[in-house]
Chains A and B, each alone.
Chain A
Amino acid sequence: KQEVTQIPAALSVPEGENLVLNCSFTDSAIYNLQWFRQDPGKGLTSLLLIQSSQREQTSGRLNASLDKSSGRSTLYIAASQPGDSATYLCAVRHGFGNEKLTFGTGTRLTIIP
Chain B
Amino acid sequence: GAGVSQSPSNKVTEKGKDVELRCDPISGHTALYWYRQRLGQGLEFLIYFQGNSAPDKSGLPSDRFSAERTGESVSTLTIQRTQQEDSAVYLCASSSRPGAFSGNTIYFGEGSWLTVV
Contact surface of A with B, Cβ cutoff 8 Å: 31-32, 34, 36, 42-46, 49, 51, 89, 91, 93, 96-97, 99-106
Contact = CB atoms under 8 A, between A and B. Distances in A.
A99 B105 contact: no
Interface string B3-20: 010000000000000000
Given A43-B109, A43-B111, A101-B33, A32 B42 contact: no
B56 A89 contact: no
B21 to A, nearest CB: 13
Contacts of B106: 34, 46, 91, 93, 101
Nearest to A93: B104
Contacts of A102: 45
Nearest to A49: B105
B110 interface: yes
Contacts, number: 58
A99 B50 contact: yes
A37 to B, nearest CB: 11
Nearest to A98: B56
- Chain A: interface secondary structure? strand
Contact of A104 (B42, B58, B99): B42
A68 B95 CA distance: 22
A29 B16 CA distance: 42
Nearest to B110: A43
A44 B109 CA distance: 7
A2 to B, nearest CB: 11
A89 B93 CA distance: 15
15 contacts: A43-B91, A44-B108, A45-B108, A46-B105, A49-B105, A51-B103, A93-B104, A96-B99, A99-B98, A100-B45, A100-B59, A101-B45, A103-B42, A103-B43, A104-B42
Interface centre among A51, A99, A105 (most CB of B within 10 A): A99
